[in-house]
A and B are shown apart, each in its own frame.
Chain A
Amino acid sequence: MAARSKAVQAAEALARAGQVGAAVAACYDALALDHRDAHTHALLAHLMLEGDFYDEAISAATLAIEIDPDCSPAYLALGLAYDRRGGMWDQSVLVWHELAEVVPDLVTAHVQLGEAFAAAAFEEEAVRSWKRALELDPKEARATYNLAISSLKREGMALALPLFRQAGELDPSQDELFFALLGVKEGLGKPIDPARVKPNRTARIGAAGLALRDEDLFAAAELVRLALDEQPDDGEALALAAYAYLKQEATNEAMACALRALTLDPELTTALYTLGVVYAKRTGLNRHAARVFIALAKRASSHALVHVLLAESLMGLQRYEQASKTYRLAVRLDPACVRARFGLAASYLTSGRHAEAQWEIRRAAYYDTKRQGLFWRLYDAYAGGGEPS
């Protein structure tokens, strides 16, 4: 593989700095010097994709692949351009299949391949692709959401809903919601020694929240215990304990702590969240979960995921139209919420609105793939002449 010219490297630097216009101009300058450089065409394809110029992205990525059939970032840009443009599912299948060959452990390639298969009505092949993605990464939420949609189409909502919830639990945004309600943006990133935390309630509760954020459940439990030893009727401490139990799959203990916390403070959002999630895990408690999430939605209406959780409970109660409205509200609050998009797609499917469902799935892919920032991973590996890490 030829080394990259200085002109390409300049374009890269601009692109990485988010200066899309200048980066595009630099790409054209680089192409004027060497129009057979696969890096530049791949980079240009990525930049066009960033600007939602899909036809231009397709053209540039195709050229990059013609020049070098092993140019993995170009396959990524081409596949995404086909998918985002829509209506080119046969080409999309070929590209994702090719990328899955070039980079076999690239989970997103299998997820996208599945979505392309599904859009082209090859449901069995789609399911195989998503299952392959989950073999590579069991925490791949979008593959699970897609399997939930597929289950809905083949078996109905009762069997699909647990899959939606399972996918939701894989989705890190659910934990993010708890910490947003708690008011903890980031953890410390280092272990907390409970013995060194100031011996007062505020310090202990604050440190317990930080420890939970860092998934240090032992330190969190110890701090909560110390706080409760001082004041057993501390709703916030109990809500933290409930969450810690929930994270350990001890749902009854979580329920007991959350219920006690709500006895002390019926408006405590962190306890409402945990209790709702516990109820949602139990067959037969959809009505209870909905009730709790309605209470939570009143107190934390700006969080998209609160509405998603409520909508999922409404789906369990077969109130699909209300669920659809609630999902739409969640999407308005956070257009990049993949879980809301898939839920909305499911609710559309229950009313035969297949095109709209497909659109929501495509939007979910759009935001999810943008968030992943895969291009640079593949590009750097390609430029370095190695496999992506």
Chain B
Amino acid sequence: MAAEDAAHLYQAFVDQDPASAIQVVERARASGIDQDALFDALYVPAMAMLGGAWASGAIDEIAFTQAAVVAEQVGSFVMPAAAKRDTGVSVIVGTMHRDLHAIGRTIVAATLKEAGYRVNDLGVNVRAAEFLERVEETGARIVIVFAEMIQTARAVSGVRELFLASGLADVIILVSGGPFAADEDLAREVSANGVILGAESALKLVSRAARDRAREGEA
């Protein structure tokens, strides 16, 4: 079936018929081929056929170029989704009060956004009360606090205390920054739930935290 669809798609390219090409794609999608698989199942073989037709002289240079234009128009219908699906999980990120280090936070926040998390980036120099305010506003239950200096890293305990005092004991606090990477005990001392060591580490920990929370919700 897929091979037949690919042949139809190729023919639509050669006929310079984008409407038919899109119909072929829609039909393949309706038959149950996942969006992420459409490119490999349909587009790749059709393009290989196009290359073969040009090589054999079945179509000339002009027809090849015109078919390539139609292929371009149809491309967006078969491409795997560029952005990851919305996870529905909100994450608050911010750098501690009196700390202006921004690079690590920016990279982690952008990585999480790209992975489909709803990221609320509070920026640098964020007071504990601002973390609390945003958690209450958004209902987020995952907070990532960045601190690159030992004093500001120790001050993360203030965020936890404020959450506890406000009845938000279930908020997961993850910490990130040089002091936490250098001293494994520091995260425990400030009552953090985990240490993020970079963008990929953030993806792993936030995903685990979101999974755990979802499980708790089900229970």
Verify A284–B79 contact, CB threshold 8 A.
yes
Verify A152–B107 contact, CB threshold 8 A.
yes
Given contacts A152-B107, A158-B114, A318-B199, contact A257 B55 (CB under 8 A): yes
Could you say which of B124-132, B155-163, B176-184, B211-219 contacts chain A? B176-184
Q: Which of A229, A252, A350 contacts B198 (CB 8 A)?
A: A350
Main secondary structure of the interface of B (DSSP, over half): helix
Q: Within B23-61, which residues are at the interface with A (CB < 8 Å)?
A: 39-40, 44, 47-52, 54-57
Give how many B residues have a beta carbon under 8 Å from the other chain's beta carbons. 45
Docked pose: A233 CA to B110 CA in angstroms: 46
Given contacts A255-B47, A258-B51, A320-B200, contact A155 B106 (CB under 8 A): yes
Q: What are the residues of chain B within 8 A of A287 when measuring CB–CB?
A: 80
Q: Is B97 an interface residue (CB 8 A)?
A: no
Could you say which of A103-111, A259-267, A326-334 contacts chain B? A259-267
Verify A229–B57 contact, CB threshold 8 A.
yes
Verify B106–A153 contact, CB threshold 8 A.
yes
Q: Which residue of B lies closest to A235 (CB)?
A: B55
Q: Which residue of A lies closest to B44 (CB)?
A: A259
Q: Within A312-355, which residues are at the interface with B (CB < 8 Å)?
A: 318-321, 349-354
Q: Which residue of A lies closest to B40 (CB)?
A: A288
Q: What are the residues of chain B within 8 A of A176 when measuring CB–CB?
A: none
Docked pose: A263 CA to B52 CA in angstroms: 9
Verify B115–A318 contact, CB threshold 8 A.
yes
Verify A157–B55 contact, CB threshold 8 A.
no
Verify A260–B57 contact, CB threshold 8 A.
no
Q: Is B123 an interface residue (CB 8 A)?
A: no
Verify B56–A156 contact, CB threshold 8 A.
no
Docked pose: A145 CA to B206 CA in angstroms: 30
Docked pose: A228 CA to B65 CA in angstroms: 17
Q: Is B1 an interface residue (CB 8 A)?
A: no
Given contacts A156-B109, A282-B79, contact A232 B197 (CB under 8 A): no
Q: Is B165 an interface residue (CB 8 A)?
A: no
Verify B103–A261 contact, CB threshold 8 A.
no
Q: Is B113 an interface residue (CB 8 A)?
A: yes
Verify B103–A253 contact, CB threshold 8 A.
no
Verify B80–A156 contact, CB threshold 8 A.
no
Q: Is A238 an interface residue (CB 8 A)?
A: yes
Q: What are the residues of chain B within 8 A of A257 when measuring CB–CB?
A: 51, 54-55
Q: Which residue of A lies closest to B180 (CB)?
A: A352
Q: What are the residues of chain A within 8 A of B203 when measuring CB–CB?
A: 318
Q: Which residue of A lies closest to B70 (CB)?
A: A252
Verify B51–A350 contact, CB threshold 8 A.
no
Q: Is B111 an interface residue (CB 8 A)?
A: yes
Verify A252–B103 contact, CB threshold 8 A.
no
Q: Is B68 an interface residue (CB 8 A)?
A: yes
Q: What are the residues of chain B within 8 A of A285 when measuring CB–CB?
A: 39, 79-80
Verify A320–B51 contact, CB threshold 8 A.
no
Query: A290: shortest Cβ distance to chain B, in Å?
Result: 12
- Interface flags, A224-260, vs B, CB<8A=1, else 0: 0000110011100110011000000010110111111
The winner among B40, B49, B51, B106 for most chain A CB atoms within 10 A is B51
Q: Is B186 an interface residue (CB 8 A)?
A: no
Q: What are the residues of chain A within 8 A of B104 when measuring CB–CB?
A: 352
Given contacts A252-B68, A284-B82, contact A352 B51 (CB under 8 A): no
The winner among A232, A252, A354 for most chain B CB atoms within 10 A is A252
Q: Within B98-155, which residues are at the interface with A (CB < 8 Å)?
A: 102-104, 106-107, 109-111, 113-115
Q: Which residue of A lies closest to B78 (CB)?
A: A284
Verify A284–B81 contact, CB threshold 8 A.
yes
Query: B85: shortest Cβ distance to chain A, in Å?
Result: 13
Q: Is B15 an interface residue (CB 8 A)?
A: no
Docked pose: A223 CA to B170 CA in angstroms: 70
Docked pose: A299 CA to B201 CA in angstroms: 31
Query: A315: shortest Cβ distance to chain B, in Å?
Result: 10
Verify A153–B107 contact, CB threshold 8 A.
yes
A-B contact pairs, 19 of them (CB 8 A): A155-B110, A156-B106, A156-B110, A157-B114, A159-B110, A228-B57, A232-B57, A234-B55, A237-B55, A241-B55, A252-B72, A253-B64, A256-B71, A259-B48, A283-B82, A285-B80, A318-B199, A318-B203, A320-B199
The 9 closest A-B pairs by CB, nearest first: A156-B110, A351-B198, A260-B51, A256-B51, A252-B68, A232-B56, A259-B48, A284-B82, A350-B199
Q: Which residues of B contact A (CB under 8 A)?
A: 39-40, 44, 47-52, 54-57, 64-65, 68-69, 71-72, 75, 79-82, 102-104, 106-107, 109-111, 113-115, 176-178, 181, 197-201, 203
Q: Which residues of A contact B (CB under 8 A)?
A: 152-159, 228-229, 232-234, 237-238, 241-242, 250, 252-253, 255-263, 282-285, 287-288, 318-321, 349-354
